[in-house]
Amino acid sequence: MTTSSYHEEEKLGKAYDHRLMRRLLRYLRPYRVTVVISVALLLIVAGLQLVGPYLTKVAIDNYIAFKNLSGLTEIAVLYLAVLVFQFTVRYIQTYIMQLMGQKAMYDLRMQLFSHLQKMSLSFFDKNPVGRLMTRLTSDVQVLNQMFTEGVVAIFGDIFILIGIVAVMLAVDYRLALVTFVTLPLLILATAIFRKKVRGVYRLVRTRTARLNAFMQEHISGMAVIQLFAQERKILNDFDDVNSSLRQAYLKTVFYYAIFFPVVEVIGAVSLGLIIWYGGGGVLAGSISLGVLVAFIQYAEMFYHPIRDLSEKYNILQSAMASSERIFGLLDTKPSILPPERSVKLETLKGEIEFREVHFAYNQGEPVLEGVSFKIQPGERVAFVGATGAGKSSIISLLCRFYEYQKGEILIDGKDLRRIDPQELRRQMALVLQDVFLFSGDILANIRLGNEEISLEKVKEVSEYVNADQFISSFREGYGEPVGERGSNLSGGQKQLLAFARALVFDPRILILDEATSSVDTETELLIREAVGKLIRGRTSLIIAHRLSTIQDCDKIIVIHKGKVREEGTHGELLRKRGIYYRLYQLQYKDQEVGVREQEPEVR
Ligand SMILES: Nc1ncnc2c1ncn2[C@@H]1O[C@H](COP(=O)(O)OP(=O)(O)O)[C@@H](O)[C@H]1O
Ligand SMILES: [Mg+2]
């Protein structure tokens, strides 16, 4: 597990960052009318809330005191009407607010995912899936919370606070001042709480991230864990991660458990002061009973928004941290951008040339060191070499998955860097040893969502590459669902399916990277025949461990330690008695004893 995968969660941003906020608000721009309406409705709700206690005062002082029942009934009806109105307005406000939040989040998720699709593979090497998932889910959710509960609701809270203070001062300024006596205490408690909880929340976030990373990694690697009977050890590790998260949560629980009672006590003290001072006033006749009762209600109302404000502050702060991470992701430029002025790509002839290509995944660790070769249109070329020699890397560069540092790659004489990668890939097909299947049926997995390709075409192609036989044996044929990782297909079947997938797009350049390696002997014959058909009429690059499969290629290129060391036909290379010869000998021996793969001994 890499520590870097959750390290960035530890950064704690400011609670308010103007630059981030401005950028965030841009997501509300399409819904600004909704925002304005929502704020207006919120102010109405706040105003209506202020009316209730005042009506109580009127009821007591003007009607109960004078035993006026009909007047009291009128007030009661009015009170009810205000409540119903308040309910309706709040309902509408909540609804449109949430609607807007969901729409904005939808936009953001679309933007994030489409951005991810543009990133080159080096990006995914460095960013674990778990982290990217967090960006698209939890971080987006935090922003949603801010939009719906934070930004707008803060207006409501502040408005109602101002409103209560104003009404209190207007009704009875002495009693109002008594009510506010406890205010400094409340502000102090809130400030301390906010500071403490802020630190603990950060802890919760980093530990959640760590737990996610752990889960993601170990669920993916479950087979290995079970195979090597590591369950107990991994469970222990998980226990550590899990309990550290629980501890972080318990800390927040601790602060909340202190803060809320403290606020309540302060509120009770304030209430006591009101009753004591106001009660005295009532007895002395200087304060009416209605005013006293109204103040008790206002005081209760007063404490809610203040408590909420500290909650909002936390929301705002998490939102700043989340938006910083989201924008960080959105601001990461793909290392391979479509060229500004791309050259037009006709139907490819399929000529490929590498000229002194240098490449490293990580700086200072060269993988390819001056690779040069030329492949003629329609040629069948095999790459051989030990594991780690750099064969797959050559393919990755050709597919434009990674940026190379030096040298030139030419396709039909055109600079690869000037070609739009998408256009290029449309005319290329790559079949890997590990076939990736998406959840869906077989048909969808072959044509990859391209509805223009008909079922007939898919069938025809599948027949051609010997895949139809097993597909037709399924109960639902081409409509047979495949699990997310194709668990209901054998390795050989997946391979044949991948061949069909490659062929259905009729590529000009076909690349097989160890596509024939993981196949059971049963299917091997089918596959070999399929490959023979597959490469007909197109430039083909084949990487194979089993040298027997590549003997009749037009050319064999031997890669060793990031360099092209030998080049020629099978016969020529054998006569040369170099690396290829030794590889061949090794395998010839190995095949007898059944071992497939071994590092050749080369000085
Ligand atoms: N995504 C990657 N990030 C960093 N290093 C890599 C990556 N993929 C391959 N390598 C390294 O590059 C070298 C060549 O790998 P590769 O081209 O896959 O070899 P081959 O296909 O010939 O077995 C190896 O040393 C390997 O460890
Ligand atoms: Mg490889």
The mean pLDDT value for 374-393 works out to 94
- Ligand 1: atom nearest CA of 391 is 22
Q: How far apart are CA 228 and CA 491, in angstroms?
A: 22
Buried b (16+ CB within 10 A) or exposed e, 45-65: bbebbbbbbbbbbbbbbebbe
Higher pLDDT, 213 or 56: 56
Strands (E), 292-434: 352-360, 366-375, 380-384, 406-411, 414-415, 428-432
The mean pLDDT value for 346-373 works out to 94
Query: How far, CA to CA in Å, does 487 sit from each of 437, 490, 500?
Result: 9, 8, 18
Q: What is the pLDDT of residue 153?
A: 79
Higher pLDDT, 12 or 346: 346
Indicate the range of 235-239, 354-358, 536-540 predicted with least confidence: 536-540
Pocket test for ligand 1, best of 393, 597, 598 (most atoms within 8 A of CB): 393
Ligand nearest to C-alpha 393: 1
Phi, psi of 365 (to 5 degrees): -125, 75
Q: How far apart are CA 311 and CA 254, in angstroms?
A: 15
Residue 479: Cβ within 10 Å count: 14
Indicate the range of 256-270, 523-537, 541-555 predicted with least confidence: 523-537
Where is mean pLDDT largest: 189-198, 377-386, 546-555?
377-386
Dig out the tokens for 544 from the structure: 């194979």
Report the alpha-carbon angle 24-27-33, nearest 5. 120
- For domain 18-330, the CATH class is mainly alpha
- pLDDT at position 4 over 80: no
CA atoms within 13 A on the CB side of 542: 30
- pLDDT at position 595 over 70: no
> Which residues line the pocket of ligand 1, CB cutoff 6 A?
125, 361-362, 367, 385, 387-393
Q: What is the pLDDT of residue 208?
A: 86
Higher pLDDT, 87 or 586: 87
What is the CA(393)–ligand 1 centre distance, in A?
6
Pocket test for ligand 1, best of 119, 361, 368, 565 (most atoms within 8 A of CB): 361
When pLDDT is cut at 50, 70 and 90, the band that residue 308 belongs to is confident
Ligand nearest to C-alpha 363: 1
Q: At what angle do helices 173-180 and 231-284 cross, to 10 degrees?
A: 150
Query: How far, CA to CA in Å, does 516 sit from each of 67, 456, 473, 593?
Result: 97, 26, 23, 20
Q: State percent of the chain over pLDDT 90.
A: 52
When pLDDT is cut at 50, 70 and 90, the band that residue 13 belongs to is low
What is the CA(283)–ligand 2 centre distance, in A?
92
When pLDDT is cut at 50, 70 and 90, the band that residue 311 belongs to is confident
- pLDDT at position 601 over 90: no
Residues with CB under 5 A from ligand 2 (ion): 392
Where would I find the H helices in 407-454?
421-426, 442-447
Ligand nearest to C-alpha 360: 1
Among 507, 486, 506, residue whose Cα is nearest residue 497: 486
The mean pLDDT value for 75-88 works out to 95
What is the CA(382)–ligand 1 centre distance, in A?
18
Where is mean pLDDT largest: 331-345, 356-370, 475-489, 529-543?
356-370
Q: What is the pLDDT of residue 11?
A: 53
Q: What confidence tens digit (pLDDT) does each residue in 456-466 have?
A: 999 999 998 88
The mean pLDDT value for 475-502 works out to 85
H or E stretch covering 247: helix 231-284
- pLDDT at position 323 over 50: yes
Q: What is the pLDDT of residue 6?
A: 44
Q: How far apart are CA 528 and CA 531, in angstroms?
A: 5
- pLDDT at position 592 over 50: no
Indicate the range of 152-156, 413-417, 503-507 predicted with least confidence: 152-156
Strand partners, 541: 381, 511
Q: How far apart are CA 285 and CA 340, in angstroms?
A: 84
Pocket test for ligand 1, best of 123, 335, 357, 392 (most atoms within 8 A of CB): 392
When pLDDT is cut at 50, 70 and 90, the band that residue 483 belongs to is confident
The mean pLDDT value for 330-356 works out to 88
- Ligand 1: atom nearest CA of 362 is 4
- pLDDT at position 88 over 90: yes
Q: Whose CA is nearest to atom 26 of ligand 1?
A: 388
Q: State percent of the chain over pLDDT 70.
A: 93
Q: What is the pLDDT of residue 3?
A: 38
Among 178, 175, 177, 176, residue whose Cα is nearest residue 286: 175
Q: What is the pLDDT of residue 12?
A: 54
Do 492 and 522 touch, CB atoms closer than 8 A?
yes
Pocket test for ligand 1, best of 120, 126, 367 (most atoms within 8 A of CB): 367
Dig out the tokens for 560 from the structure: 């060793």
Higher pLDDT, 449 or 265: 265
What is the CA(390)–ligand 1 centre distance, in A?
6
Rg (CA), the chain: 35
Q: What is the pLDDT of residue 342?
A: 78
- pLDDT at position 293 over 80: yes
Q: How far apart are CA 354 and CA 140, in angstroms?
A: 44
Q: What is the pLDDT of residue 589?
A: 64
Domain ranges of the chain: 18-330, 352-593
Dig out the tokens for 489 from the structure: 């297909």
Ligand nearest to C-alpha 362: 1
- pLDDT at position 431 over 80: yes
Q: What is the pLDDT of residue 197?
A: 83
When pLDDT is cut at 50, 70 and 90, the band that residue 443 belongs to is very high
Q: Whose CA is nearest to atom 7 of ligand 1?
A: 361
Q: Whose CA is nearest to atom 1 of ligand 1?
A: 125
- Ligand 1: atom nearest CA of 383 is 22
Q: At what angle do helices 231-284 and 289-331 cross, to 10 degrees?
A: 150
- Ligand 1: atom nearest CA of 389 is 22
What is the CA(361)–ligand 2 centre distance, in A?
14
- Ligand 1: atom nearest CA of 543 is 21
One of 3.30.70.20, 3.30.429.10, 3.40.710.10, 3.40.50.300 is the CATH number of 352-593, namely: 3.40.50.300
Q: How far apart are CA 67 and CA 46, in angstroms?
A: 31
The mean pLDDT value for 410-419 works out to 94
Higher pLDDT, 344 or 598: 344
Long-range contacts of 193-199, Cβ-Cβ distance < 8 Å, separation of 24 or more:
193/255, 193/258, 193/259, 193/310, 194/310, 194/313, 194/314, 196/255, 197/252, 197/255, 197/256, 197/259, 197/310, 197/314, 198/12, 198/15, 198/314, 198/317
- pLDDT at position 536 over 90: no
What is the CA(388)–ligand 1 centre distance, in A?
5
When pLDDT is cut at 50, 70 and 90, the band that residue 590 belongs to is low
